[in-house]
Copies of this chain bind each other. A is one copy, B any other.
């Protein structure tokens, strides 16, 4: 077994597989896909996720479900391997995963979609000169209200058994009450035991009244709402003691953890000063950030350097730590992983490479205090290890 060196691995990339698109096409209430004829006279698919969709729906197309499109995008940007995940249109809140379905149908569909995704990855080409595939995936849990614990555990086991699925995705609402719901404890236990990586991605955003009345496109819900949602979910997980009960859980947060790293010392201070929670957790809140994996989708080198520091310093905040642990920025780099967010953020005008990808690659290259090994790790080596892609 050897560790392939210097591969570029994209761990944050979205896909809608045909079965999910077909389901949406078969529906006539949100969420659904309809085909319209655009002003240029050509037909195009639109996804509608709100009853009053102002723009007639968001254009969706081959980039969402065609594997050749994904591979072409990967080739254009020198990406060797992608670990894909089922997606949502990443723009507007109240956007569906499976939670518009009744529990039994969600259960069956999740199982079918996981098999589809296994097939999508298993039949993908090999990385040139390597024995590993170009596509791996995150499976899908049927996180809908009323789902039985046994159904969830069955799907965790299914994902564990499918050889090209190396983790699973979760939304922030859990089965309706959020991820701090104790009802999920058996699920966390099963995930921890199966050593599956949980990719936590925002989906619903936050209450849109905060954005005001000005026309700002999708900037506020995307730039702020999504990170706020991730931050809140991860903070609630920390406060609920999930990381004390399941210390080997491996959680990967989208968008470099949103605002959580920047607010983590404030969080620790607020906990320390609040009689309700001050004695609840085993460690200072900042300790738990050392348990997280973060994608490197932050678009700036200072951001990546900082989140690397926050992971590096975590040991300093372990209960009983008597000395200041030296926070070498390299330590944290091992828990950061390159991602693109494809097919979101396409360039506004045609361009050879996508700025949303090159900014993230340049950010990794420009982090002060990271060695070349650290950068290679963030570009791919860390993903190879985390997802067991060694040959």
* A contacts, CB < 8 Å to B: 177-178, 180, 206-207, 209-220, 222-224, 227-229, 231-232, 235-236, 239-240, 255, 258-259, 261-278, 286, 298-300, 302-303, 305-306, 309-310, 313, 327, 345-348, 355-356, 359, 363
Contact = CB atoms under 8 A, between A and B. Distances in A.
B224 A235 contact: yes
Contacts of A261: 262
Given A178-B212, A220-B235, A262-B303, 7 more contacts: A177-B212, A214-B239, A219-B271, A219-B274, A265-B300, A268-B300, A269-B355
A195 B213 CA distance: 29
A33 to B, nearest CB: 22
A274 B217 contact: yes
Given A206-B210, A207-B207, A302 B298 contact: no
Nearest to A205: B210
Contacts of A236: 211-212, 214, 216, 220
A310 B255 CA distance: 18
A278 B216 CA distance: 10
Contacts of A215: 276
A325 to B, nearest CB: 13
Contacts of A262: 258-259, 261-262, 298, 303, 306
A180 B216 CA distance: 11
Nearest to A232: B210
A274 B214 contact: no
A346 B272 CA distance: 10
Contacts of A259: 224, 227-228, 231, 258-259, 262-263
Number of copies: 2
The 6 lowest CB-CB distance pairs between A and B, nearest first, are A217-B276, A265-B300, A259-B259, A207-B207, A262-B262, A265-B299
26 contacts: A178-B212, A180-B214, A207-B209, A216-B239, A216-B276, A217-B276, A218-B276, A219-B239, A219-B271, A220-B235, A223-B271, A224-B228, A224-B231, A224-B259, A228-B259, A258-B263, A259-B263, A262-B262, A265-B302, A265-B363, A269-B356, A273-B356, A278-B348, A286-B300, A302-B313, A306-B306
A109 to B, nearest CB: 27
Nearest to A209: B207
A227 B232 CA distance: 12
Given A259-B262, A298-B265, A232 B218 contact: no
Nearest to A210: B232
